[in-house]
Amino acid sequence: MAPLPLALPFAALEVGQHLYWQLGNYKIHGQVFLSSWVVIGALLAVVVVGTRRLERDPRGVQNLLEFLWDYLRDIAREYIGEKAYRDWLPFIGTLFLFIFVSNWGGALIPWKLVHLPSGELGAPTADINTTIALALLVSLAYFYAGLSRKGFRYFEYYVEPTPIMLPFKIVEDFTKPLSLSFRLFGNILADELVVAVLAFLVPLVVPLPVMFLGLFTSAIQALIFATLAAYYIGEAVHEEHH
């Protein structure tokens, strides 16, 4: 296949190229960490600015933070339940904030202005490693939540309401992280690819609606991930009333 006679550097697209950093015997994806540090930095900056002087009459950034806190508390409380949600609010909230800021950062920050030797910057959640890491954390979290709250009675959950459910429930433990990670990864990567392909074909105006759609799906994906994580944890700590 002959190279196309196109020379539009800003519209070039790379898929599956990574900036490798060597860490002992292991390799890590540098671009993912770079962009995740930007995301974490932005999050921490907003949080530090907003909580520097907490007042009873909230002003400025404190309003935003309290709105977020309220929103996340509602998610956690609704899906985990009144009794256990306080322990898991920080985890659910961090998942939501990290994914949300990652997704929107990937769409809104002009990463392409930074040139890397290999690969390109983008949303950290468009890398399968990140999403699998998050999904496995969720798995660990709900196992830990169930075991710490109910001890070995947690495994009763596998044979309720009937022992026939056992294989399905075991399979579920594998499909949960799989679906979580691939849903997020696929959505964000697909969004970035669609925008990139459209921008490559028609650089002006035409990609804009898709970009807005991308922002929408990004927010929805963050919400879905956090909600499902809360739901799984809630399922694990739920007490059956006999």
Partner 1 sequence: MTSWLLLAEAGATAGSPEGGLFDLDATLPLMALQVVLLTFILNSLFFRPVGKAVEDREGYIATSRTQAKEKIAQTVRLEADLKEQLKGARLEAQKVILEAEQDSDRLYREAMAVAQADAIASRESARSKIDGQRADALSLLEADADRLADLIVDRLLPAS
Residue 11 or residue 165: which is nearer to partner 1 going by CB?
A: 11
* CB 175, min distance to partner 1, A: 18
Binding site for partner 1 (CB under 8 A): 1, 3-4, 6-7, 9, 11-18, 20, 23, 26-29, 32-33, 36, 40, 43-44, 47-48, 50-51, 54-56, 58, 62, 65-66, 69-70, 73, 89-91, 93-95, 97-98, 124, 127-130, 132-134, 136-137, 189, 196-197, 200
* CB 109, min distance to partner 1, A: 18
Residue 70 or residue 239: which is nearer to partner 1 going by CB?
A: 70
Residue 10 or residue 152: which is nearer to partner 1 going by CB?
A: 10
SS3 of the chain: CCCCCCCCHHHCCCCCCCCEEEECCEEEEHHHHHHHHHHHHHHHHHHHHHHCCCCCCCCCHHHHHHHHHHHHHHHHHHHHCCCCHHHHHHHHHHHHHHHHHHHHHHHHCCHHHCCCCCCCCCCHHHCHHHHHHHHHHHHHHHHHHHHHHHHHHHHHHHHCCCHHHHHHHHHHHHHHHHHHHHHHHHHHHHHHHHHHHHHHHCCCCCHHHHHHHHHHHHHHHHHHHHHHHHHHHHHHHCCCCC
* CB 157, min distance to partner 1, A: 25
Residue 36 or residue 218: which is nearer to partner 1 going by CB?
A: 36
* CB 24, min distance to partner 1, A: 8
Residue 37 or residue 168: which is nearer to partner 1 going by CB?
A: 37
* CB 155, min distance to partner 1, A: 25
Three-state secondary structure call for residue 32 = helix
Question: From CA 208, how far away is CA 142, in angstroms rounded?
Answer: 39
β 20-23/26-29 pair status = antiparallel
Residue 28 or residue 171: which is nearer to partner 1 going by CB?
A: 28
* CB 37, min distance to partner 1, A: 9
